[in-house]
């Protein structure tokens, strides 16, 4: 395991949710963290609270992607060790009601931008024998009606993880993916996947299928990201951090 202190890490979508929790985890342990996000006020507030570098920008914009890489390398003392592709959007609709522009948007946000940002990061990561991480979804383990657009993007990222692990391994770069379970992030609440009442009661349908019937926390994902970012002989892994939700537990 490489030491965490002094690691230079870029976290997209770091102004809230899993990205913010992961940024806090690394910053508290001495890493040089740069977070990004489209909402400048949210990114600035999160960066100030965490004590890290914040860069406002949209991962779907080519100039913004380059600015993110440059900022992270500069903040990291001239290097980049870890890229955590965490930014993403949600779009749900019945298959017969899908809208082409929204499909293009979610694939651009969740898949294409992550691929292009990773390409920009590769020369820097090769120099440090660094790590790339993606975020998958339990939607690829269990089927949720009307979630085909989101599930398809996450399935693409999980396949991409293994392809890039093979492609970049001889350059010393590890590529892994973490699959979060039922965690009350803003994207879940916005999409109607999880309400405040469900979080309080711990009785939503999401929990009934988990081996451990408890809501996860951002810190659970941060710990998994920490391991995958620093383990130097683990690559191509798809790590489920979901309380056993993917098992499809049935309780009598």
Q: Which residue has the higher pLDDT, 213 or 68?
A: 68
How far is C-alpha 1 from the chain's CA centre?
A: 21
Could you tell me which of 33, 126, 112 has the C-alpha nearest to residue 76? 33
pLDDT over threshold 50, residue 180: yes
What are the tens digits of pLDDT across the range 54-113? 999 999 999 999 999 999 999 999 999 999 999 999 999 999 999 999 999 999 999 999
Could you tell me which of 60, 52, 63 has the C-alpha nearest to residue 9? 52
Please identify every residue annotated as catalytic.
Answer: 150
Q: Name, of 187-191, 213-217, 224-228, the range with top average pLDDT.
A: 224-228
Cα 93 to Cα 112: distance, rounded to the nearest angstrom: 21
The residue-averaged pLDDT of 190-195 equals 48
% pLDDT > 70, the chain: 90
What are the tens digits of pLDDT across the range 134-160? 999 988 888 888 999 999 999 999 999
The residue-averaged pLDDT of 217-228 equals 96
Q: Is the pTM of this model over 0.85?
A: yes
| Domains within the chain, CATH numbers bracketed | 8-181+219-240 (3.40.50.720), 184-215 (no CATH)
Could you tell me which of 212, 63, 85, 199 has the C-alpha nearest to residue 136? 85
Q: Which two tokens stand for residue 125?
A: 């990561």
Q: Where are the beta strands (DSSP E) in 43-155?
A: 53-56, 82-85, 131-135
The residue-averaged pLDDT of 117-125 equals 98
In the DSSP assignment, the letter for residue 114 is H
């Amino acid at each position: 395991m490489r030491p965490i202190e002094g690691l230079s890490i870029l976290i997209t979508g770091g102004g809230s949710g899993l990205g913010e929790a992961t940024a806090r985890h690394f910053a508290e342990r001495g890493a040089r963290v740069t977070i990004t996000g489209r909402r400048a006020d949210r990114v600035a507030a999160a960066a100030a609270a965490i004590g890290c570098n914040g860069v406002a920008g949209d991962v779907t914009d080519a100039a913004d992607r380059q600015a993110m890489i440059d900022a992270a390398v500069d903040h990291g003392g001239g290097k980049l060790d870890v890229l955590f592709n965490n930014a993403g959007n949600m779009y749900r609709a019945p298959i017969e009601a899908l809208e082409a522009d929204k499909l293009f948007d979610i694939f651009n946000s969740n898949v294409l931008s992550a691929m292009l940002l990773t390409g920009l990061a590769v020369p820097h990561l090769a120099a440090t024998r660094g790590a790339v991480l993606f975020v998958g979804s339990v939607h690829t383990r269990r089927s949720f009606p009307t979630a085909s657009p989101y599930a398809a993007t996450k399935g693409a990222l999980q396949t991409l993880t293994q392809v890039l692990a093979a492609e970049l391994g001889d350059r010393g770069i590890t590529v892994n993916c973490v699959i979060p379970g039922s965690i009350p992030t803003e994207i879940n609440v916005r999409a109607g996947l999880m309400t405040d009442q469900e979080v309080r009661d711990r009785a939503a349908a999401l929990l009934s299928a988990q081996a451990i019937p408890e809501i996860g926390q951002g810190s659970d994902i941060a710990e998994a990201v920490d391991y995958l970012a620093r383990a130097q002989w683990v690559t191509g892994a798809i790590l489920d951090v979901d309380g056993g939700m993917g098992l499809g537990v049935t309780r009598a």
